[in-house]
Protein backbone atom coordinates (compact mmCIF):
# COMPACT_ATOMS: atom_id res chain seq x y z
CA UNK A 1 0.00 0.00 0.00
CA UNK A 2 1.20 3.47 -0.93
CA UNK A 3 2.34 5.39 2.13
CA UNK A 4 0.71 8.81 1.77
CA UNK A 5 2.84 10.31 4.51
CA UNK A 6 6.09 9.52 2.86
CA UNK A 7 7.86 12.57 1.51
CA UNK A 8 8.86 10.82 -1.72
CA UNK A 9 5.19 10.11 -2.53
CA UNK A 10 4.51 13.80 -2.96
CA UNK A 11 3.71 15.08 -6.43
CA UNK A 12 7.18 16.38 -7.11
CA UNK A 13 8.49 12.79 -7.00
CA UNK A 14 5.64 11.32 -8.98
CA UNK A 15 7.71 8.62 -10.62
CA UNK A 16 8.41 7.15 -7.25
CA UNK A 17 6.13 5.00 -5.17
CA UNK A 18 7.06 4.16 -1.64
CA UNK A 19 4.99 1.50 0.07
CA UNK A 20 4.18 1.37 3.73
CA UNK A 21 6.90 -0.58 5.34
CA UNK A 22 6.62 -3.49 7.66
CA UNK A 23 7.32 -2.55 11.23
CA UNK A 24 10.76 -3.86 12.06
CA UNK A 25 11.40 -5.39 15.44
CA UNK A 26 13.84 -3.34 17.45
CA UNK A 27 17.37 -4.49 16.92
CA UNK A 28 17.92 -3.88 20.61
CA UNK A 29 16.79 -6.49 23.03
CA UNK A 30 14.44 -4.78 25.50
CA UNK A 31 15.59 -7.02 28.29
CA UNK A 32 19.15 -5.99 27.58
CA UNK A 33 18.10 -2.36 27.66
CA UNK A 34 16.48 -2.72 31.05
CA UNK A 35 19.46 -4.69 32.32
CA UNK A 36 21.73 -1.96 31.01
CA UNK A 37 19.62 0.67 32.71
CA UNK A 38 19.87 -1.21 35.95
CA UNK A 39 23.64 -1.38 35.59
CA UNK A 40 23.74 2.30 34.74
CA UNK A 41 21.65 3.13 37.76
CA UNK A 42 24.03 1.35 40.03
CA UNK A 43 26.98 3.42 38.80
CA UNK A 44 29.51 3.37 41.59
CA UNK A 45 31.06 6.29 43.37
CA UNK A 46 34.78 6.63 43.98
CA UNK A 47 34.24 5.42 47.54
CA UNK A 48 32.25 2.41 46.34
CA UNK A 49 35.08 1.46 44.01
CA UNK A 50 37.75 1.96 46.61
CA UNK A 51 35.91 0.10 49.37
CA UNK A 52 34.98 -2.72 47.00
CA UNK A 53 38.53 -3.14 45.82
CA UNK A 54 39.95 -3.09 49.33
CA UNK A 55 37.43 -5.75 50.35
CA UNK A 56 38.62 -7.88 47.45
CA UNK A 57 35.25 -7.71 45.66
CA UNK A 58 36.23 -9.03 42.24
CA UNK A 59 33.21 -7.74 40.40
CA UNK A 60 34.03 -4.21 41.54
CA UNK A 61 37.71 -4.83 40.77
CA UNK A 62 36.74 -5.91 37.25
CA UNK A 63 34.58 -2.83 36.77
CA UNK A 64 37.43 -0.59 37.93
CA UNK A 65 39.81 -2.28 35.49
CA UNK A 66 37.25 -1.72 32.74
CA UNK A 67 37.39 1.98 33.57
CA UNK A 68 41.18 1.91 33.24
CA UNK A 69 40.80 0.27 29.86
CA UNK A 70 38.13 2.67 28.66
CA UNK A 71 39.10 5.48 26.35
CA UNK A 72 36.22 7.71 27.48
CA UNK A 73 37.67 10.78 29.20
CA UNK A 74 35.17 10.64 32.09
CA UNK A 75 36.09 7.00 32.73
CA UNK A 76 39.74 7.92 32.61
CA UNK A 77 39.26 10.66 35.19
CA UNK A 78 37.49 8.31 37.58
CA UNK A 79 40.03 5.55 36.91
CA UNK A 80 42.89 7.87 37.81
CA UNK A 81 41.16 8.81 41.06
CA UNK A 82 40.68 5.15 41.95
CA UNK A 83 44.34 4.42 41.19
CA UNK A 84 45.44 7.33 43.35
CA UNK A 85 43.36 6.05 46.27
CA UNK A 86 44.74 2.55 45.80
CA UNK A 87 48.39 3.53 45.41
CA UNK A 88 49.24 3.57 49.12
CA UNK A 89 47.96 -0.02 49.34
CA UNK A 90 49.93 -1.31 46.38
CA UNK A 91 53.45 -2.54 45.88
CA UNK A 92 53.34 -5.47 48.28
CA UNK A 93 53.30 -8.25 45.75
CA UNK A 94 55.72 -10.32 43.80
CA UNK A 95 55.35 -9.48 40.14
CA UNK A 96 56.38 -12.17 37.69
CA UNK A 97 56.51 -11.81 33.91
CA UNK A 98 56.03 -14.99 31.90
CA UNK A 99 56.79 -15.12 28.21
CA UNK A 100 57.31 -17.66 25.45
CA UNK A 101 56.24 -18.28 21.89
CA UNK A 102 52.66 -19.39 21.22
CA UNK A 103 52.33 -23.09 21.88
CA UNK A 104 55.18 -23.28 24.38
CA UNK A 105 52.57 -23.96 27.05
CA UNK A 106 52.12 -20.63 28.82
CA UNK A 107 48.48 -21.09 29.78
CA UNK A 108 49.03 -24.66 30.88
CA UNK A 109 52.09 -23.60 32.82
CA UNK A 110 50.34 -20.65 34.47
CA UNK A 111 47.48 -22.90 35.48
CA UNK A 112 49.80 -25.49 37.03
CA UNK A 113 52.15 -23.09 38.80
CA UNK A 114 49.17 -20.88 39.69
CA UNK A 115 47.49 -23.75 41.53
CA UNK A 116 50.78 -24.46 43.26
CA UNK A 117 51.15 -20.83 44.31
CA UNK A 118 47.64 -20.55 45.74
CA UNK A 119 48.14 -23.84 47.59
CA UNK A 120 50.81 -21.93 49.51
CA UNK A 121 48.10 -19.51 50.70
CA UNK A 122 48.90 -16.82 48.16
CA UNK A 123 46.39 -14.79 46.23
CA UNK A 124 47.20 -14.67 42.54
CA UNK A 125 46.17 -12.30 39.77
CA UNK A 126 46.99 -13.23 36.17
CA UNK A 127 47.12 -10.39 33.67
CA UNK A 128 48.22 -10.33 30.07
CA UNK A 129 49.86 -7.93 27.69
CA UNK A 130 49.28 -8.39 24.04
CA UNK A 131 48.62 -5.34 21.93
CA UNK A 132 47.43 -7.59 19.13
CA UNK A 133 44.53 -7.96 21.52
CA UNK A 134 41.76 -9.94 19.88
CA UNK A 135 44.05 -12.91 19.70
CA UNK A 136 44.93 -12.70 23.35
CA UNK A 137 41.35 -12.39 24.38
CA UNK A 138 40.97 -15.75 22.73
CA UNK A 139 44.19 -17.12 23.96
CA UNK A 140 43.99 -16.24 27.62
CA UNK A 141 40.33 -16.72 28.33
CA UNK A 142 38.17 -17.15 25.26
CA UNK A 143 38.77 -20.82 24.97
CA UNK A 144 37.09 -21.93 28.15
CA UNK A 145 39.32 -24.88 28.71
CA UNK A 146 42.32 -22.64 29.30
CA UNK A 147 43.19 -22.11 32.95
CA UNK A 148 39.79 -23.56 33.71
CA UNK A 149 40.73 -24.96 37.09
CA UNK A 150 42.62 -21.86 38.15
CA UNK A 151 39.82 -19.54 37.12
CA UNK A 152 37.44 -21.41 39.43
CA UNK A 153 39.64 -20.74 42.45
CA UNK A 154 38.65 -17.98 44.86
CA UNK A 155 42.27 -17.07 45.39
CA UNK A 156 42.91 -16.50 41.69
CA UNK A 157 41.79 -13.70 39.43
CA UNK A 158 42.38 -13.88 35.67
CA UNK A 159 42.04 -10.86 33.43
CA UNK A 160 42.76 -10.83 29.70
CA UNK A 161 44.80 -8.18 27.96
CA UNK A 162 43.19 -4.80 27.40
CA UNK A 163 42.22 -4.78 23.75
CA UNK A 164 42.73 -1.87 21.42
CA UNK A 165 45.67 0.42 21.68
CA UNK A 166 49.35 0.88 21.15
CA UNK A 167 51.76 -1.31 23.06
CA UNK A 168 52.64 1.68 25.26
CA UNK A 169 48.97 2.25 26.04
CA UNK A 170 48.22 -1.39 26.73
CA UNK A 171 51.32 -1.69 28.92
CA UNK A 172 50.41 1.40 30.93
CA UNK A 173 46.91 0.04 31.51
CA UNK A 174 48.36 -3.24 32.69
CA UNK A 175 50.67 -1.44 35.06
CA UNK A 176 47.74 0.48 36.50
CA UNK A 177 45.77 -2.75 36.77
CA UNK A 178 48.60 -4.20 38.87
CA UNK A 179 48.07 -1.38 41.38
CA UNK A 180 44.36 -2.18 41.74
CA UNK A 181 45.01 -5.92 42.05
CA UNK A 182 47.56 -5.32 44.78
CA UNK A 183 45.19 -3.03 46.64
CA UNK A 184 42.59 -5.82 46.35
CA UNK A 185 44.95 -8.12 48.24
CA UNK A 186 46.60 -10.11 45.48
CA UNK A 187 50.14 -10.75 46.66
CA UNK A 188 51.35 -12.48 43.53
CA UNK A 189 50.88 -11.06 40.05
CA UNK A 190 51.64 -12.95 36.86
CA UNK A 191 51.85 -11.05 33.62
CA UNK A 192 51.74 -13.16 30.52
CA UNK A 193 52.98 -12.01 27.16
CA UNK A 194 53.51 -13.69 23.83
CA UNK A 195 57.21 -13.93 23.23
CA UNK A 196 57.43 -12.66 19.74
CA UNK A 197 58.02 -8.95 19.88
CA UNK A 198 58.34 -5.76 21.80
CA UNK A 199 55.92 -6.57 24.58
CA UNK A 200 58.62 -8.38 26.58
CA UNK A 201 60.43 -5.12 27.14
CA UNK A 202 57.22 -3.54 28.39
CA UNK A 203 56.60 -6.47 30.73
CA UNK A 204 60.18 -6.44 31.91
CA UNK A 205 59.67 -2.84 32.94
CA UNK A 206 56.88 -3.76 35.36
CA UNK A 207 57.91 -7.05 36.94
CA UNK A 208 60.40 -8.18 39.55
CA UNK A 209 61.15 -11.52 37.96
CA UNK A 210 61.12 -12.45 34.31
CA UNK A 211 60.59 -16.07 33.30
CA UNK A 212 61.15 -17.29 29.79
CA UNK A 213 59.46 -20.51 28.71
CA UNK A 214 61.23 -22.47 25.98
CA UNK A 215 60.94 -25.78 24.21
CA UNK A 216 63.59 -28.39 23.59
CA UNK A 217 64.33 -29.73 20.16
CA UNK A 218 64.08 -28.15 16.75
CA UNK A 219 67.91 -28.01 16.83
CA UNK A 220 68.10 -24.26 16.87
CA UNK A 221 67.16 -23.57 20.46
CA UNK A 222 68.69 -20.15 20.57
CA UNK A 223 67.20 -19.02 17.30
CA UNK A 224 63.51 -19.11 18.10
CA UNK A 225 63.58 -16.20 20.41
CA UNK A 226 65.58 -13.01 20.29
CA UNK A 227 68.85 -12.84 22.15
CA UNK A 228 67.71 -9.69 23.93
CA UNK A 229 64.84 -11.59 25.49
CA UNK A 230 67.14 -14.34 26.72
CA UNK A 231 69.33 -11.68 28.27
CA UNK A 232 66.35 -10.31 30.18
CA UNK A 233 65.41 -13.67 31.69
CA UNK A 234 65.95 -14.32 35.39
CA UNK A 235 65.18 -17.97 34.72
CA UNK A 236 64.56 -20.12 31.68
CA UNK A 237 62.10 -22.99 32.01
CA UNK A 238 62.25 -25.68 29.38
CA UNK A 239 58.68 -26.88 29.28
CA UNK A 240 57.21 -30.15 28.01
CA UNK A 241 60.02 -32.12 29.60
CA UNK A 242 57.95 -35.28 29.75
CA UNK A 243 57.62 -38.61 27.96
CA UNK A 244 60.29 -39.09 25.33
CA UNK A 245 61.10 -35.39 25.42
CA UNK A 246 62.88 -35.56 28.77
CA UNK A 247 66.30 -36.31 27.33
CA UNK A 248 66.07 -33.57 24.72
CA UNK A 249 64.99 -31.14 27.40
CA UNK A 250 68.08 -32.01 29.45
CA UNK A 251 70.31 -31.40 26.42
CA UNK A 252 68.60 -28.08 25.77
CA UNK A 253 69.06 -27.15 29.44
CA UNK A 254 72.81 -27.68 29.12
CA UNK A 255 72.91 -25.62 25.94
CA UNK A 256 71.14 -22.73 27.66
CA UNK A 257 73.38 -22.93 30.68
CA UNK A 258 76.37 -22.68 28.33
CA UNK A 259 74.82 -19.84 26.39
CA UNK A 260 73.95 -17.88 29.53
CA UNK A 261 77.55 -18.17 30.72
CA UNK A 262 78.50 -16.02 27.76
CA UNK A 263 76.42 -13.12 29.04
CA UNK A 264 77.92 -10.93 31.73
CA UNK A 265 76.02 -10.90 35.04
CA UNK A 266 73.31 -8.25 35.10
CA UNK A 267 72.99 -5.48 37.66
CA UNK A 268 71.02 -7.77 39.96
CA UNK A 269 74.14 -9.96 40.32
CA UNK A 270 71.80 -12.94 39.97
CA UNK A 271 72.86 -15.75 37.66
CA UNK A 272 69.80 -16.96 35.76
CA UNK A 273 68.72 -20.55 36.34
CA UNK A 274 67.69 -23.05 33.70
CA UNK A 275 65.09 -25.55 34.85
CA UNK A 276 63.27 -28.29 33.00
CA UNK A 277 59.59 -28.72 33.75
CA UNK A 278 56.36 -30.22 32.57
CA UNK A 279 53.26 -28.12 33.01
CA UNK A 280 51.12 -31.13 32.16
CA UNK A 281 52.83 -33.61 34.50
CA UNK A 282 53.46 -30.99 37.16
CA UNK A 283 57.19 -31.67 37.42
CA UNK A 284 59.79 -28.97 38.02
CA UNK A 285 57.02 -26.50 38.84
CA UNK A 286 57.68 -26.19 42.56
CA UNK A 287 61.38 -25.76 41.80
CA UNK A 288 60.56 -22.79 39.57
CA UNK A 289 58.47 -21.19 42.29
CA UNK A 290 61.33 -21.75 44.75
CA UNK A 291 63.66 -20.03 42.30
CA UNK A 292 61.36 -17.03 42.11
CA UNK A 293 61.39 -16.77 45.90
CA UNK A 294 65.16 -17.22 46.08
CA UNK A 295 65.57 -14.43 43.57
CA UNK A 296 63.27 -12.12 45.49
CA UNK A 297 65.14 -12.77 48.74
CA UNK A 298 68.50 -12.36 47.01
CA UNK A 299 67.62 -9.05 45.37
CA UNK A 300 65.87 -7.71 48.45
CA UNK A 301 69.04 -8.37 50.40
CA UNK A 302 71.39 -6.75 47.92
CA UNK A 303 69.10 -3.76 47.37
CA UNK A 304 68.43 -4.44 43.70
CA UNK A 305 64.73 -5.19 44.28
CA UNK A 306 63.82 -1.71 45.45
CA UNK A 307 66.27 -0.07 43.07
CA UNK A 308 64.58 -1.76 40.15
CA UNK A 309 61.13 -0.81 41.36
CA UNK A 310 62.24 2.79 41.67
CA UNK A 311 63.67 2.76 38.19
CA UNK A 312 60.46 1.28 36.91
CA UNK A 313 58.44 4.04 38.55
CA UNK A 314 60.65 6.62 36.91
CA UNK A 315 60.33 4.87 33.57
CA UNK A 316 56.53 4.86 33.86
CA UNK A 317 56.41 8.50 34.75
CA UNK A 318 58.16 9.32 31.48
CA UNK A 319 56.15 6.76 29.55
CA UNK A 320 52.92 8.28 30.84
CA UNK A 321 54.06 11.74 29.81
CA UNK A 322 55.01 10.47 26.36
CA UNK A 323 51.67 8.74 25.96
CA UNK A 324 49.70 11.77 27.07
CA UNK A 325 51.62 14.16 24.82
CA UNK A 326 51.25 11.87 21.85
CA UNK A 327 47.53 11.40 22.40
CA UNK A 328 47.04 15.12 22.87
CA UNK A 329 48.81 15.82 19.60
CA UNK A 330 47.01 13.22 17.50
CA UNK A 331 43.60 13.97 19.02
CA UNK A 332 43.96 17.68 18.44
CA UNK A 333 41.24 18.88 16.06
CA UNK A 334 43.57 21.05 14.01
CA UNK A 335 46.11 18.26 13.62
CA UNK A 336 43.38 15.77 12.74
CA UNK A 337 42.28 18.13 9.99
CA UNK A 338 45.71 18.78 8.57
CA UNK A 339 47.70 15.63 9.04
CA UNK A 340 46.34 13.84 5.94
CA UNK A 341 47.15 16.88 3.82
CA UNK A 342 50.77 16.89 4.98
CA UNK A 343 50.98 13.14 4.61
CA UNK A 344 49.90 13.51 1.00
CA UNK A 345 52.46 16.26 0.45
CA UNK A 346 55.17 13.93 1.68
CA UNK A 347 53.92 11.08 -0.50
CA UNK A 348 53.98 13.35 -3.54
CA UNK A 349 57.51 14.46 -2.69
CA UNK A 350 56.42 18.07 -2.38
CA UNK A 351 58.00 18.38 1.05
CA UNK A 352 60.28 16.18 3.11
CA UNK A 353 59.02 14.17 6.07
CA UNK A 354 61.02 16.37 8.43
CA UNK A 355 59.58 19.59 7.11
CA UNK A 356 56.07 18.13 7.26
CA UNK A 357 56.61 17.06 10.88
CA UNK A 358 58.01 20.50 11.75
CA UNK A 359 55.08 22.31 10.13
CA UNK A 360 52.55 20.12 11.91
CA UNK A 361 54.27 20.62 15.24
CA UNK A 362 54.33 24.36 14.64
CA UNK A 363 50.60 24.29 13.95
CA UNK A 364 50.16 22.38 17.19
CA UNK A 365 52.31 24.61 19.38
CA UNK A 366 50.99 27.87 18.01
CA UNK A 367 47.40 26.70 17.78
CA UNK A 368 46.02 29.30 20.20
**Site residues, ligand GDP (CB under 6 A):** 100, 102-108, 239-240, 242, 278-280
The answer to whether the beta carbons of residues 193 and 199 sit under 8 Å apart is yes
Rounded to whole angstroms, how far apart are CA atoms 187 and 115?
Answer: 14
241 CB-near residues (< 8 Å, 6+ apart): 216, 249, 250, 276, 277, 278, 283, 284
Closest contact distance (angstroms) between CB of 99 and ligand GDP is 9
Closest contact distance (angstroms) between CB of 112 and ligand GDP is 8
Q: How many angstroms from the chain centroid is the CA of residue 105?
A: 18
Of the pair 53, 128, the CB lying nearest ligand GDP is at 128
312 CB-near residues (< 8 Å, 6+ apart): 205, 206
Residue nearest ligand GDP by beta-carbon distance? 105
Closest contact distance (angstroms) between CB of 215 and ligand GDP is 9
Closest contact distance (angstroms) between CB of 105 and ligand GDP is 3
Closest contact distance (angstroms) between CB of 338 and ligand GDP is 43
Of the pair 177, 245, the CB lying nearest ligand GDP is at 245
Beginning with the edge strand found earlier in the chain, give each strand of the sheet holding 188-194 in spatial order: 156-158, 124-129, 188-194, 94-100, 209-215, 235-239, 273-276
356 CB-near residues (< 8 Å, 6+ apart): 342, 343, 345, 346
Of the pair 61, 216, the CB lying nearest ligand GDP is at 216
What CA–CA distances, in Å, run from 244 to 109, 116, 221, 248?
A: 19, 25, 18, 8
Query: What would the DSSP string read from start to end of 301-312?
Result: HHTHHHHHHHHH
Of the pair 108, 255, the CB lying nearest ligand GDP is at 108
Nearest Cα neighbor of 13 from 23, 28, 22, 2 is 2
Of the pair 100, 160, the CB lying nearest ligand GDP is at 100
Rounded to whole angstroms, how far apart are CA atoms 39 and 24?
Answer: 27
Closest contact distance (angstroms) between CB of 110 and ligand GDP is 8
Closest contact distance (angstroms) between CB of 325 and ligand GDP is 35
249: left (phi over 0), alpha (psi -120 to 50) or beta: alpha
DSSP 157: E
Closest contact distance (angstroms) between CB of 188 and ligand GDP is 19
Of the pair 289, 298, the CB lying nearest ligand GDP is at 289
Of the pair 147, 183, the CB lying nearest ligand GDP is at 147
Of the pair 108, 286, the CB lying nearest ligand GDP is at 108
Amino acid sequence: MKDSNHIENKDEYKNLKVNTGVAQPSSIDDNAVSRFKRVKKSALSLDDYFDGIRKGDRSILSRAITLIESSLPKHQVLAQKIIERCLPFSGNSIRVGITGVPGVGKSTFIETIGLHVISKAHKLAVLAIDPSSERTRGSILGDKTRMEELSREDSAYIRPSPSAGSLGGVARKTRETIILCEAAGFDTIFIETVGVGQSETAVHSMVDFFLLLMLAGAGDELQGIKRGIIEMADAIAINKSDGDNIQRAEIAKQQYINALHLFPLGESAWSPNVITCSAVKNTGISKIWETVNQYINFTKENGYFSKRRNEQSKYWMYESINEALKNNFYNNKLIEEKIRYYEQQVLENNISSFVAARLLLDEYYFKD
